[in-house]
Structure 1
Amino acid sequence: MRLPVYLDYNATTPVDSRVLEAMLPWFSEHFGNAASRTHLYGWTAEEAVATARKQVAKLLKTNLKEVVFTSGATEANNLAIKGVFEKYSYKGKHIVTVATEHKAVLDTCHHCEQLGGEVTYLRPDTNGLITPQQVAEALRSDTILVSVMYANNEIGVIQPIREIAAATHAGGALFHTDATQAAGKLPIDMAEEGIDLLSLSAHKFYGPKGVGALAVRQGVELTAQLDGGGHERGRRSGTLNVPGIVGLGKACELAQKEMNAEAERLCRLRDRLEQEILANVPHTFVNGKASQRLAHLTNICFEHIDGENLLLSLKDIAVSTGSACTSASVLPSYVLKILGLTDDQAYASLRFSLGRFTTEEEIECTIQHVIETVERMRVGSAV
């Protein structure tokens, strides 16, 4: 069976062959526990983890001691939000976040509410953006944390992180960003941008699934969410996933080297895809702010058409209607609804996310397939 063109890179990415090559020896040849510091097997694994920690820190322009390895961004978000909530509850229990955050942040905030916390959910404008002023106005004397996604997973809009962090610090709170879709794709400087805590996941930029990191600025305290052997400086207990961590480190190294050229190429392909669809398919528009978004993503609404049937009819391409974590839901995207779309418009919106292995030929095939499919579905319609 011929596989469809893969344009769902925001859901997950294939492991780069160079990442896989770096990982393979750590499954069988160098299998030691990085916490076993009494023999060569453990020392070798510990050294590999240390190298990966440097690679992650270099990508984020932060101190290697600030990198905490996790099972992914979901765990990192939980550790950041719950960890701050529990550690600083003596100062206050108020958190500020955005209504269009990923469920890994929203559901964690809901958990804190059940424990007596209060959460303010900022609503972005129709482009998906919030302003530093909104954050400043939401801050209270008991605010301990502001959590704002760096780049949205569904529409790709990039928030003014530096300015939001400054407003947060002016109000005496800590700033966390879920950078799952930004890490490895955008240049990030934690110190310069004023980021106290940052979450990322390897499988979003050509590393393996099941590994990620939380970068924690020195001086920020957290209550551990996994108790045990006191690994990761007491912040996250559990035997380290050495092969995964090596893969994450290598993915960070490759991303740092290839980020700019990759973004330029993908932006060109994305723009062609977007422009051709908008020009040849009536009643279409892009969701989110076109000028302030990730280079590899477009979210397009196909009005007056059944979104589910459209998705099922596009058999030659793999795309999605929104976040992979909510794709099983029959409800329309809450992100698009908050932007002002109707249920029908949200259902009829598709996310096309390109990646490292997307080719010009695949984009041309996608353009033709989308145009032909929509025309066929609209035959006999008054639209």
Structure 2
Amino acid sequence: MRKSFTLCVAAVMWCGTVATTAAEVNVEIHYLRQVTPTPPTLSNLDPLPEDLGRAGAEVGLADNRTTGGFLGQTWGMTVTEVPEDGDFAAAAAEALGQTDLLVLDAPRDAILAAADLPEAQDALLFNATEEDTTLRGAACRANLLHTSASYAMRTDALMQMLVERRWRDLALVTGPQPEDAAFAEALESSATKFGLEIGSRAEWRFDADMRRNAAAEVPLFTQDLGEYDVLLVADEIGDFARYIPYNTWIPRPIAGSEGLVPATWAPVVEQWGAAQLQSRFTDAAGRDMRPADYGAWAAIRSIGEAVTRTEAADAPTLRAFLLGPDFELAGFKGSPLTFRDWNGQMRQPIPLVHARALAAQAPLEGFLHQLNPLDSLGLDAPEAGCTAFDAS
């Protein structure tokens, strides 16, 4: 008993010593969101939360404050929402007048406008939500890191599972939105990359009420697709894909935006301690954690880990550490998360999920890479075409 008491006292004294001797670090982050119009959808079952993305950032900030409280760190975060017709670049310039650490929740062009500001060249920006693959390729920026998985990472994950299941003949239905086209393009590229073939294709053009007509319309629509092993669906805004399962002309699995979905994060991810993160998020936000929330959480936590390890809060120091060999983030996905030093993309496993459970997680066993199996997902260094990081 006396020995245990002595150890406890020593531990308390050590914690107090750390708190008093650690250099005080003040970290200010600006979370900048561009409000975008939401296209009308056939169903109103899944409205977008008003705090989408921001809620994940707030949970990440709370995590940083918990750790930083013992290390002399103080954390602050300003949130700015730019209206649909607002000037995102101007808002970013104003934010950069206060801090050189920005977390961006915005479309591709708005992100590039912010990254190209003269004020941003020595800053550190995080893309928390945009999945556009070109931001990790020819349109990459040296001051921009990505905690959101790209379309290519998600579709590569899906193709790995289809290869493993030997489902090689594919058909594709694409929705009318730009996000649908981008996801469909990634599906096409990933299919080619993994030796699969997308044969028949169709574009979704219905504006009828599928809640009443799906059983009649979808079989006729899919009849012309012919034979296939899996029907891929590109419907990234959640408009029509929910009406396709069990209504196709031939009974086949559905994958992509519906059915078997490659997702950055999903409520059914519970392994590797993920249930703890899910629970904390639900307690804080009153809803399930979504991919945009996870991307924002990972951005804030990456900053937190870098600050703790470097005892600094300036963008150049943090960037060098984040892209270096010593950075790792415990992301509740079974593998440490790190950043690719050739395009700033966060390496991360991709869960393959359906509505009720995790089916698998990529990279799957057998899909190898000469350096890191996680680099089998998305743009590898030779194919990225990103030159902005060459001199970093």
* TM-score band w.r.t. shorter chain: 0.3 to 0.5
Flag the structure with larger Rg.
2
Q: Which structure ranks higher in relative contact order (CA pairs < 8 Å, sequence separation ≥ 6)?
A: 1
Q: TM-score, normalised by structure 2?
A: 0.32
Instruction: Please state which structure has a larger fraction of its residues in strand.
Output: 2
